[in-house]
């Protein structure tokens, strides 16, 4: 059975979790105890990696090998024959997921982190704040909270190209979901995680697409 090791609020973990749900196979999730304790990942990857997510499939452990790799999704896709990476869309998907994981995620995680006290246990909140402030500066979460309206406006603008794409098809690249649909779904899953943020009301196509992605039925019968 595939095991997904994760932080449940991580956009990149939500991506893989949704792909596994879509596959229809049985899988298990293991949530790490806090942002600072990556010892399980360090052990499983033989001291090669400390990020999330990773997957363990029997003796096989899969993790990302670069900033722009999609090794985990490609492994799941190949193993379970999901068709999320059609060869004719390779270049387009590569361009889109870079935009999704930079421009959209760069706004989205801030909107979620504003509410970190709702998904980070009190004992681990200091470590969470320290982790964020080491990268984004002292008081960053308070600044994001103050600028929430501006961040929501920025999110709407970064999503607008996808709104335009979805006028012409039910999914981003045609009639069937591809990896980039799950990629965007995961990033937005992080934005929506606490329930405080909503998808922009002006982006009707995005909202309809999100409902379609949420309602996708498994492509295979569940099996071990």
Total number of residues shown for the chain: 224
CATH among 3.90.650.10, 3.40.640.10, 3.40.30.10, 3.90.1640.10 for 2-80: 3.40.30.10
Residue pLDDT, tens place only, 100-152: 999 999 999 999 999 999 999 999 999 999 999 999 999 999 999 999 999 99
How much is the mean pLDDT over the chain?
95
Angstrom distance (rounded) from CA 183 to CA 172? 11
Residue pLDDT, tens place only, 153-175: 999 999 999 999 999 999 999 99
Q: Please name the residues in contact with 89: beta carbons below 8 A apart, sequence gap of 6 or more.
A: 173, 178
Confidence band for 64, pLDDT divided at 50, 70 and 90: very high
Confidence band for 219, pLDDT divided at 50, 70 and 90: confident
List the domain boundaries for the chain.
2-80, 87-215
Q: In percent, how much of the chain has pLDDT > 90?
A: 94
Bridge partners (DSSP) of residue 27 are: 2
Taking residues 70-75, what's their average pLDDT? 98
pLDDT at 137: 97
Q: Which CATH class is domain 87-215?
A: mainly alpha
Confidence band for 224, pLDDT divided at 50, 70 and 90: very low
> Which of 1, 6, 26, 31 lies closest to 16, judged by CA?
6
Matching CATH topology for 2-80 and 87-215?
Answer: no
pLDDT at 223: 44
pLDDT exceeds cutoff 70 at 180: yes
Considering only the C-alpha atoms of the chain, give the largest distance between any 2 of them, rounded to a whole number of Å.
49
Helix H segments across the chain?
11-23, 39-44, 71-80, 90-99, 105-113, 125-136, 140-146, 148-165, 179-191, 204-215
Distances (CA, A) of 65 to 36, 41, 181: 21, 14, 22
The pTM assigned to this predicted structure is: 0.95
pLDDT at 222: 52
> Which of 155, 150, 51 lies closest to 104, judged by CA?
155
């Amino acid at each position: 059975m595939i095991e997904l090791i994760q932080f449940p609020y991580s956009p990149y973990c939500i991506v893989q979790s949704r792909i596994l749900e879509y596959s229809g196979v049985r899988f298990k999730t293991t949530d790490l105890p806090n942002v600072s304790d990556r010892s399980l990942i360090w052990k499983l990857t033989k001291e090669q990696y400390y990020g999330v997510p990773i997957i363990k499939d029997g003796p096989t452990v899969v993790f990302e090998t670069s900033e722009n790799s999609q090794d985990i999704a490609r492994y799941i896709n190949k193993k379970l024959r999901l068709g999320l990476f059609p060869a004719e869309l390779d270049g387009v998907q590569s361009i889109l997921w870079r935009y999704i994981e930079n421009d959209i995620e760069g706004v989205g995680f801030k909107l979620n982190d504003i509410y970190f006290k709702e998904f980070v246990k009190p004992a681990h909140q200091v470590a969470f704040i320290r982790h964020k402030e080491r990268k984004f500066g002292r008081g960053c979460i308070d600044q994001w909270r103050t600028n929430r309206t501006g961040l929501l406006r920025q999110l709407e603008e970064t999503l607008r190209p996808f709104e335009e794409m979805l006028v012409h098809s039910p999914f981003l690249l045609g009639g069937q979901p591809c990896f980039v649909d799950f990629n965007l779904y995961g990033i937005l899953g992080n934005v929506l995680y606490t329930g405080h943020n909503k998808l922009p009301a002006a982006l009707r196509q995005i909202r309809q697409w999100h409902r379609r992605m949420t309602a996708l039925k498994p492509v295979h019968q569940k099996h071990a």
